[in-house]
Structure 1
Amino acid sequence: MNTIYNYVESVFINLPQTAEMIRLKEDMLRNMEDKYQDLKADGVNENEAIGTVLTEFGNIDEIIDEYNISPEDDSFTENKNEIYLSDDDAEDYLEHRHKFAFAIALGVFLCIIAVALFFSVISFFQFLFPSISENVSGVIAIATLLLIVAISIGLFIIFGLKEANYPFEKKILNLDPRTYSRIKVEYDSFNPRFAYAIAIGVVLCILGPISLLLTVTLLGDQYPLSIVFLLGFVAIGVFLFIYYGIQKNTFQKLLTIGSHTRAQVKVNTLTDSVANIIFPIATLYYLYQGFFNNNWGVAWIVFPIVGILFAVFAAITEVITNRRDYR
C-alpha cells in the first residue's frame, strides 16, 4: 500500500492544491485501495495487484485533460525539485547506477587490497628471494600499492564524471504507472539478494579479526600474513556493502521510498545546509583553541557535542516535516 500512496502523492504534487483537487486525490487513493484489496481477495499477488492498480488508475494525463490544467495555468507551476523520467530514461539510469555501483565498490575494494598486497609483496621477497635487500622489496611493494590505488582513483574519476550526467541529487523522480510497477517488481526481487549480500558482508568483516587473531596465535606477530587475511576479508565485505547498497538506494530513489520520500528530501536539503555551516565552524573553533590556547586535548569535545546537537536537530526537523506533509 505504501507504493500506491507514494505514487498518488507523486501524481498530485505539482497539481493545483485546490479543495476540488484534494478531494479528487482522496477519491483516487480510496478507489485504488479498494481495487487493490479486491485483487488481493481474488488471490492476485501483491506485485501484480499494485501493477494493475497503477495502470488502471494512475494516468495523470487524463486528470490534467479533464480539469483543463496546463503548465501555463498560474495554479500549475513546475516544481524544480521534480524530474519526470520516461521508461527509457529510468532504464538508462538503472543501468548506469549498476555500473557505477560496481565501479565504486571495486575502487574501494582495490584500495583496501592494495595495502594487503603491499605486505604480501614484502613477504614474498623475504621468503623466496632473501638475497634481495629490503629497500628493493620495499620499493616494489610501494610501486604495487601506488599502481592499484591509481587504478582505483581512475575508476572514481571516470564514473564520478558519468554520474554528473544524471543530476538527480536531492530531486524527486516521477515515473509513469507501468514503469513504476515494473521497477517495483525488480526492487522486490532484488531485496532478498541485498539481504544475503549484507549478511555475507557482516560475516566476512567478523571473520577478518578472527583470522588476524588465529594467524598471530599460530604463526606469531612477525608475519604480515595476518594483516593480509584481515584486509582480504574486510575488502570483500566492504565491496558487498557498497555494491548492493548503491543499487538499493537507486531503486528507492526511483520509487520515492525510504530516504527519498518527499518529506525526507526536504529534511535532507535543510539538514545538509545546516551541516555545511556548523561543522566548519566547529572545526575553526577546534583549530583556534588548539593553536592559540594550546587546548588540543580538550577542544576536541566540540565535535561530539555538535554531532549530538545536529542529530537532535535533524530528528526534530524530520518529525515536523512529516507532520506537515500528512496534514
Structure 2
Amino acid sequence: MILADKIINLRKKNGWSQEELAHKLGVSRQSISKYEGAQAVPDLDKILKLSQIFGVTTDYLIKDEMEEEIYTGEDSYEEDKPQYKVTMEMASEFLQIIKEAAKRIAFATWLCVISPICLIVLGAASEVEVFGIGEDFAGGVGMCVMFILVGIAVAIFVCTDMKQKKFEFLETKCFETEYGVTGMVKERKEQFHERYVRYNVIGVTLCIFSVIPLFGGIAIFGDRDFPIVCMVGIMLFLISCGVYFFVLGGTQMAAMEKLLEEGDYTRAKKKISDKMGAFSLAYWLGSTAIFLGISFITNDWKDAGIVWPIVGVLYAAVRVIVEHVCSKEK
C-alpha cells in the first residue's frame, strides 16, 4: 500500500476531513488532496508530523510493503482506533444481504405510509349518506387495516434487521478493512451511482406530483369533502411510492458508505448517530401525528395536506442544525 492510500485510510479512521487534517499538519487542503492523490510527496518534516498525528510509526508510512498499521502508543485517540476488521468475504456478504433486503425495507416503508389511507377514506365516506357506512364501522375497519399493514411492515423490518445483526458494528463502531476491500466497494459504488440518481429523481418527482391530485380535486370538486379526502388518499399513495424509491436507493448507498466510512458514517458522525436516529424518528412520527391530528380535529383534509411539503423542506435544515449542536456537544 502506497503512502497516499495510507494517509487516506488513517484520516478516515480518525473521522477527519481533508481540511481538518490540513489544519493539524499546518498545510493547505490542496496539499492534503495532492498527498492523497499521489500527486505530491510530503517532505520528511511532514512525514514525522503525520506519524505523530496518526500515532503510527514512520516506517509504516514510508514503506509500501508494510500493510498493517504499527501504532507508536504515543497517540491519545484510543476512542477512534479500530475495534473490528472487515475482510473481503464479510464486505461481499454484507453488500449481498443489503441488496436483497433493500426491496423488502422499501416495501415495508411503503406499507407504513399508505396504512392510514383506508381510515381516512372510510371516515369521509361515513359522512356521505349514499354509502350507508356508519362512523363506528368506518373507524373500526379503517383502524384494523392500518394496524394490519403496520404489523406486516414491522415484521418485515424485524426479520430484515435480524439478518443484518452481525454487521451492526459498521454503523456505530470503528473498524479497519482488509486490503482490497476499499477498492472493491468504491468500484461497486461507482457502478450503482447512476441507478441511485435515477431512484432519487423518480422519488422527488413523485413527491412533487403528489400535490397535483389534491389541488386538482379542489379545482374540480370545490368544497365537497369526500372527493377531496379521496384526493388526499391519492396524494399519500404517490408520496409512499416516492419514499419507496428513496429507501430502495438510499439503503444500498448507505451500505457502501458504511464500509467506506463516508457520508453519514464517518467516525465523527458515528459519535452522534444515535441522537440523529432518534431525531429523525421523532421528527417524522411527530409530523404524521400533526397531520392526522389537524385533519381529524378540523375535518379539513385539503388544508392539512400542506403539512407534508412544509415538513419535507424543513427536515434538511433542522437536521443540519441538530447535527451542528450535537457536534459542538461532542
Residue 190 of structure 1 corresponds to which residue in structure 2?
192
The Cα offsets for residues 221-266 of structure 1, whole Å up to 9 and x where unpaired, read as 3223211111011111112222222222211111122233334445
Give the corresponding residue for 2:214.
Answer: 212
State how far apart, in whole Å, the 1-side matches of 2:189 and 2:242 are.
22
What TM-score results when the alignment is normalised by the length of structure 2? 0.58
- Which residue of structure 1 aligns with residue 226 of structure 2? 222
Asked if the contact 2:125–2:133 (Cα under 8 Å) also holds between the matched residues in 1, the reply is no
Query: Paired residue for 1:33, among 38, 44, 64?
Result: 38
**Partner residue in 1 for 2:266:** 261
Distance 1:249 1:135 in 2: 44
SS of the residue 2:226 aligns to: coil
- CA-CA distance at 1:214 after TM superposition: 0.7
Match of 1:7 in 2: 9
CA distance in 2, matches of 1:87, 1:260: 19
For the 8 Å contact 2:12–2:266, the answer to whether it is kept is: no
In structure 2, the residue matched to 1:200 is 202
Give distance in 2, aligned partners of 1:83 and 1:61: 23
**1:212 and 1:179, CA in 2 relative to 1: closer, same or farther beyond 3 A?**
same
For 1:297, the equivalent position in structure 2 comes to none
Match of 1:171 in 2: 173
Question: For the Cα contact (< 8 Å) 1:172–1:253, is it kept in 2?
Answer: no
Alignment partner of 2:195: what SS? helix
Which residue in the other structure is 2:117 paired with?
Answer: 116
- 2:63 is aligned with 1:63: no
Structure 2: gaps (5+ residues):
16-24, 26-30, 41-59, 283-317
Q: Could you tell me how far apart the structure 2 residues matched to 1:252 and 1:135 are? A: 49
Query: Structure 1 residues 222 and 262, CA, compared in 2 at 3 Å: closer, same or farther?
Result: closer
- AA paired with 1:221? D
CA contact (8 A) 1:107 1:156 kept: yes
1:63 counterpart letter in structure 2? M
Q: Which residue of 1 aligns with 2:52?
A: none
Aligned equivalents of 1:310 and 1:123: distance in 2? 38
SS in 1 for 2:85: strand
Q: Tell me by how many angstroms 1:9 deviates.
A: 4.0
Structure 1 spans left out of the alignment, 5+ residues = 14-21, 36-56, 280-305, 319-327
The residue correspondences of 1:92-103 to structure 2 (distance < 5 A) are 92-103=93-104
Could you say if the C-alpha distance between residues 194 and 64 of structure 1 is closer, same or farther in structure 2, counting changes exceeding 3 Å?
closer
Residue of structure 1 equivalent to 2:106: 105
Question: In 2, are the aligned partners of 1:109 and 1:238 still within 8 Å (CA)?
Answer: yes
Q: Which of 174, 181, 202 matches 2:183?
A: 181
1:118 Cα deviation from its structure 2 partner: 3.3
- Offset of residue 173 of structure 1: 3.6
Contact 1:173 1:256 in 2 (8 A): no
Q: Are the counterparts in 1 of residues 80 and 174 from structure 2 also a CA contact under 8 Å?
A: no
CA contact (8 A) 1:10 1:174 kept: no
Larger radius of gyration: 1
8 A Cα contact 2:13 2:82, kept in partner: no
Q: 1:12 to 1:228 in 2, by over 3 A?
A: closer
Q: How far does residue 32 in structure 1 lie from its aligned partner after superposition? A: 6.6
* Structure 1 residue 186, shift from structure 2 partner: 0.9
Shift of the 61–103 alpha-carbon distance from structure 1 to 2, 3 Å rule, reads farther
TM-score by length of 1: 0.58
Q: Deviations over 1:131-163 (max 9, x none)?
A: 565544543333222211110121222223333
SS in 2 for 1:33: coil
C-alpha change, 1:307 and 1:30, in structure 2 (3 Å) is closer
Task: Report if the CA contact (8 A) 1:97-1:247 is conserved.
Answer: yes
Write the letter of the residue equivalent to 1:229. I
What is the distance in 2 between the residues matched to 1:189 and 1:97?
A: 16
Shift of the alpha carbon at 1:108? Answer: 2.0
2:248 aligns with one of 225, 243, 252: 243
In structure 2, give the amino acid aligned to 1:251.
Answer: M
Deviation of 1:212 after TM superposition, in Å, equals: 0.9
Deviations 1:56-79 (A, max 9, x none): x99x994168x9x69xx9779996
Q: Does 1:151 align with 2:152?
A: yes
